[in-house]
Every structure is written in C-alpha cells, then in structure tokens.
Structure 1
Amino acid sequence: MRAYRVAYDGRPYNGFQRQPDVPTVEDALLDALERLGVRDRADGPPPGYAAAGRTDAGVSALAQTVAFEAPEWLSPSAFNGRLPDDVRVWASAAVGDDFHATHDAVERRYRYFLHAPDVDDRRARDTLAALCGEHDFHNLTPDGEGTVRVLDGSFTRDGPFLVVDLRAGGFPRQLVRRVVGLVAAVARGDAPPAKVDRVLGADEVDGPDGVAPAPAAPLVLTGVDYPGVTFDADPDAAADARAVFAALRAERRAAASVAGCVADRLP
C-alpha cells in the first residue's frame, strides 16, 4: 500500500468525490490510474483505495490524501504525468496493508480566507472561541449523525482577510464553512453573539434562523495527519506543483486587478 499527498485547485471541479456527469478531482485521479495501467475501469478503484475526505465543490487542497495498492514505480512524478495541471501529487509514503486513508486520520486541518475588511476582530475572536471545544454541531451541518466533535481554531488578520484555521479529528459536511459563516455574521453585526449558544443548543435552528455555509472557493484542506506515517516529498513533483499554483496566483491577481479597475472607476 502507498499513500499519496494531492494538491488541487478545486474551482473547476464539483468536489472531490466521483459523481455522474460532472468533473470531480477523484475522476481525475482514477482516470490517470487507468491510463497508467494501475487499474481497469471495469474493476473500479485499485484494491485498498480510500481518500482522507470529501471536499465540497470549489474547495481546494494542499494535502488531500489517497492510498491504494500501488506498483513500486508509481512515483508522484509518474502519477502527475497523466493528471491535469490543476491536480498535482507531490509526496508519498509506504503504509501497511491495513492502512485506510479515511479511518486512520487523527486530525484534519482547514484554512479559510474570509474577506472581512471592516469587521470587529474582537467579536470574531470571541465567537470562534465559543465554537471551539467539544460540542454537538448538529445545527451547523446537514449530517444527521457524527455531529459531536472537538473543534480547535484560531485566526490571524492579513490585510482585508481573516485567515481562519480549524482543526478536528473529522468534520461533518459543511461544518467548516458554517462555522466561518457564523463567525462572519457575528463579527459584522448581522447576528448577536447569543446566536452561538442557540446554534450549539439542543433545539433545531434552521430556516431564516439557521447558518448558511460561507462560499466554498476560499477554503483549503491544508493537512491530514496519520500516526507513524511520514510523507517524503518528490522534489520534481513538488517543484512542478509550486510552479502550477504560482501561475494560478498570478492569473487571479491579474483578474482581481482588472475587477478592481472597473469597480474603482465606475461613477
């Protein structure tokens, strides 16, 4: 068994997990393995295949992790030879035959870039602190089970952005984005601080009183930890990934400058 670290730009994809008739990151990975002769389409994924988690449509990743029975020659660079540019494998690790990329993860980390130039940072910090710890987050996810989690989080101010980092053993669907949505609502004054207690309470909070998820595109899966597993970066593959994402950064900065030019010059 071998585990691979995967970075990707989530914007062009309808999430990580395979779905019919829409592009997903998992489609790109499995299609590459088919072209490499590592799996046959009729047989499904390779033996032992699993991924660390399912990111939503538009969410990107630095350290998504997939594992399966891989041939010795399948280095990250070889894997990349059959992948689209916006999906890059950059490290790998030998793991035991019983390794499971989903179930063996002990911590997952996400980072959200919240554009919030005019919010009250103190209110944001107090709200995030109230959401951290062990809680039943049933009002912050559409999941009906597995909603009790121990959440840790912090944020830093980076110009107009609050960079929010969240950590937990696992995350129910949309939890990260709804936590960020609640922090933003309280920090902007759109919701009272008391809403946090209501959301964390036993009663259902939905409809107009619920918490909508923040947009997906500013979210990145930054880390997944496994006890006793050390990933070795492939120098060529990592350099290739850095070049791809540096080019994406330059492209989007230019697009932001164009939009800013129009916005600033409109009467």
Structure 2
Amino acid sequence: MAWSVVSLRIAYLGWNYHGVVEQPSLPTVGSALREAMESQGIRAKLRFTSRTDRGVSALDNIAFYRGPAPNVSLLNSELPKDIAVWAIATGGIPKPKARAYCYAIPFRLSETECVRRALDELAQAGLGKNIERIDVKSGENFTYIEIYGKSFKKNEIRRIVGRALELHLGRSIGLAPPEGLVLTETLTDMKWEEFHRRKLHLIGKMIERELWRLESSRIILGIIKSISSSLL
C-alpha cells in the first residue's frame, strides 16, 4: 500500500531535550514523538523541516513521514506535557518558504545597534546571507530579536546574538545560550486539515513562563551579588 506523506505541526519546550532529531540513548523531541506514534501502531521514520538543537524550543516545527495518519488527540495524551502536536495535513513533503525565530534576552539592550553591528561583522565570515529581516523589540526587562529567512546555518542565530551581547556587555560570550531561542513560524503552502490550537497555546505559555524564569534568576543573582558585596 502506498501511503501519503503525513505532516504534523509540533510545538515544544526544548530545554529538557537534546534537540529534535533522534540520538542514541539521549532524550530528544523526535524520540518522544516516535514512541507516542508507536503506541498507535505507527512505525515510521520521522523527518523535520528544522533540525533545532539541544535546548532550543519551537512553536511551529514540522515533522513528516510516510505512513498512516495518527489520532492527534490520542497522540497528545501520550506525549510529554512539554511537546504537542497542534495541526495535521496529508499530501506532499512540506517545503518551507520561510522561517521565523525569536531570541529572548532577559534584559534590555542599551543599544539595538549592537545587533546590526554583529550581523555586519559576521557577514564577513559568510553568515547572515539568507536573513531577510531582523526586528529588535525592547521592553523594560526583555529584548526580543526576531529573525526571518528561508534557511539558517548551524548555530547561525546564536552566533549573531552572542556577538551582539559581547558588544553590549563588553566581554566574551561566544554562542548565545540555546534556551532563549524559539522557532516561532514555518511558512509553507500546506493545507492543514485539523487544528488543536489549545495545545499550541499551552506550550506557548510554558515557554513564556520558562523565559521569565530566566529573568527571575538574573534578578536573584543580582541581589545575591549585592548582598555579598555589602558584606566585604
């Protein structure tokens, strides 16, 4: 029997996983999804439109395989609470036209120009060629760097954000931590047949809560540092 390609829009908090693609003896989003599918007797090789790394989260990644379609409600009941399938489609292989990422920094950048300078510097190393747009939004306690493009090299966004942080803080950072990075949208021409938006909303709130935990940790560490200084 010739099966159609089944596509699943997935959202997850990536902090507890070693990326989305399966790795031997390590917890990954892909292994959790495969095990949940096997509970319905579906055994298939999963592929993903974006191979997010360890610690990176997503609101709109796409897993796809050739085989029977699952019962999405039952699938979500088998998945860990930090992973959800929120839409399904059958047909051809999904081909992303564009992707959007957001990096959340738990403090306000004093100069958003740091991001532009970082991109200009790293462009000399061949990075940033596929980036179509960057938006920087600053609040009282957060800076959101939104990056749009068709595709990105491994660690490209974290390298850009890390360099922007170096320019802001005046010290070496290297790659920005993966926990602040979220894949927010994968744009395709797929016609999605079934939606479970409540599951998407729940994962979104979970990611938001964990990002604010980063801010709380920063404040607490600042208090501890202040107390320690006063005791000297």
Q: TM-score, normalised by structure 2?
A: 0.79
- Mapped to 1, the partners of 2:220 and 2:107 lie a distance apart of 21
With 231-240 and 58-67 compared, the bigger mean Cα shift is at: 231-240
Give the match's secondary structure for 1:95: strand
Give the match's secondary structure for 1:14: coil
- Mapped to 2, the partners of 1:81 and 1:231 lie a distance apart of 20
1:124 aligns with 2:124: no
Q: What residue number does 2:87 align with?
A: 91
Deviation at 1:8, TM superposition (A): 0.9
Residues 150-203 of structure 1 show CA distances to partners (whole Å, capped at 9, x for unaligned) of 442111002232210011111110001011112222344559xxxxxxxxxxxx
Deviation at 1:10, TM superposition (A): 0.9
- Mapped to 1, the partners of 2:71 and 2:121 lie a distance apart of 42
- After superposition, where does 1:32-51 map in structure 2 within 5 Å? 32-39=36-43, 45-46=44-45, 49-51=46-48
Residues 186-222 of structure 1 show CA distances to partners (whole Å, capped at 9, x for unaligned) of 344559xxxxxxxxxxxxxxxxxxx832111110011
Residues 210-251 of structure 1 show CA distances to partners (whole Å, capped at 9, x for unaligned) of x83211111001110102534642255346546755775787
Give the match's secondary structure for 1:11: helix
Q: What residue number does 2:152 align with?
A: 171
Q: What amino acid is aligned across from residue 147 of structure 2 in structure 1? A: L
Gaps of 5+ in 1: 40-44, 141-146, 192-210
Q: What residue number does 2:100 align with?
A: 109
Residues 87-134 of structure 1 show CA distances to partners (whole Å, capped at 9, x for unaligned) of 111222x232x32x4xx111111100123446323x3254267479xx
Does structure 1 conserve the Cα–Cα contact (< 8 Å) formed by 2:131 and 2:147? no
Does structure 2 conserve the Cα–Cα contact (< 8 Å) formed by 1:112 and 1:218? yes
With 221-230 and 169-178 compared, the bigger mean Cα shift is at: 221-230
- Mapped to 2, the partners of 1:244 and 1:5 lie a distance apart of 17
Gaps of 5+ in 2: none
Alignment size in residue pairs: 225
Q: What residue number does 1:29 align with?
A: 33
Cα RMSD for the two superposed structures: 3.2
Q: What residue number does 1:56 align with?
A: 53
Does structure 2 conserve the Cα–Cα contact (< 8 Å) formed by 1:128 and 1:153? no
- Mapped to 2, the partners of 1:156 and 1:19 lie a distance apart of 36
Give the match's secondary structure for 1:33: helix
Give the match's secondary structure for 1:80: helix
- After superposition, where does 1:188-267 map in structure 2 within 5 Å? 188-189=169-170, 212-230=174-192, 232-238=194-200, 241=203, 262-266=224-228, 267=230
